[in-house]
């Protein structure tokens, strides 16, 4: 696994998610309770158009995203500062077209990026046994 490309895919997925959420949130038809999907602004725009319109308003907390990334992908040996700086540069220089056509999100990493994270409940500490007195 190329950790850098996977990191860029993870950031791309977050940008895309935020753009979709912003578009849905600002839809006048949703706000006014309009039922017809033909009148909903978020149904008119394709994904690239949504990214063009909303990418400048996305908020990326890179240190926090990196923590989620290493937990999700289980790569704990990565240099945090290096990857946060790479992420800053990626976000600053990427355009909606570069993210859309860049193939950072692909069939191989789709499940890892968008699938559910399996977490295990912490086990209860073992109960102390009482000593019998004779």
Q: What is the pLDDT of residue 134?
A: 61
| Separation CA 83–CA 127 (nearest Å) | 42
| Separation CA 129–CA 126 (nearest Å) | 9
Structure confidence at residue 55 as a pLDDT band (50, 70, 90): very high
Summarize pLDDT for 59-94 with one digit per residue, the tens: 999 999 999 999 888 887 888 999 999 999 999 999
Of 134 and 39, the structure prediction assigns the larger pLDDT to: 39
Q: In 3D, which of 14, 2, 22 has the Cα closest to residue 91?
A: 14
Structure confidence at residue 109 as a pLDDT band (50, 70, 90): confident
Summarize pLDDT for 7-20 with one digit per residue, the tens: 999 999 999 999 99
Please return the burial class of 74, using the count of CB atoms within 10 Å of its CB with bins 0-12, 13-18 and 19+. Answer: exposed
Let me know how long the chain is: 134
Q: What is the pLDDT of residue 44?
A: 87
| Separation CA 120–CA 48 (nearest Å) | 37
| Separation CA 12–CA 82 (nearest Å) | 18
Q: What is the pLDDT of residue 123?
A: 47
Beta strands in the chain (DSSP E): none
């Amino acid at each position: 696994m190329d950790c850098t490309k996977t990191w860029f895919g993870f950031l791309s997925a977050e940008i895309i998610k935020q753009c979709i959420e912003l578009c849905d949130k600002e839809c006048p038809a949703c706000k006014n309770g309009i039922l017809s999907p033909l009148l909903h602004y978020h149904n008119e725009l394709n994904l690239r158009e949504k990214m063009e319109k909303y990418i400048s308003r996305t908020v990326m907390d890179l240190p926090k995203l990196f923590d989620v990334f290493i937990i999700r992908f289980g790569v704990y040996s990565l240099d945090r500062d290096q990857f946060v700086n790479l992420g800053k540069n990626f976000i600053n220089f990427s355009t909606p077209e570069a993210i859309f056509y860049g193939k950072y999100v692909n069939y191989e990493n789709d499940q890892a990026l968008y699938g559910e994270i399996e977490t295990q409940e912490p086990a209860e500490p073992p109960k102390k046994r009482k000593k019998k007195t004779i």
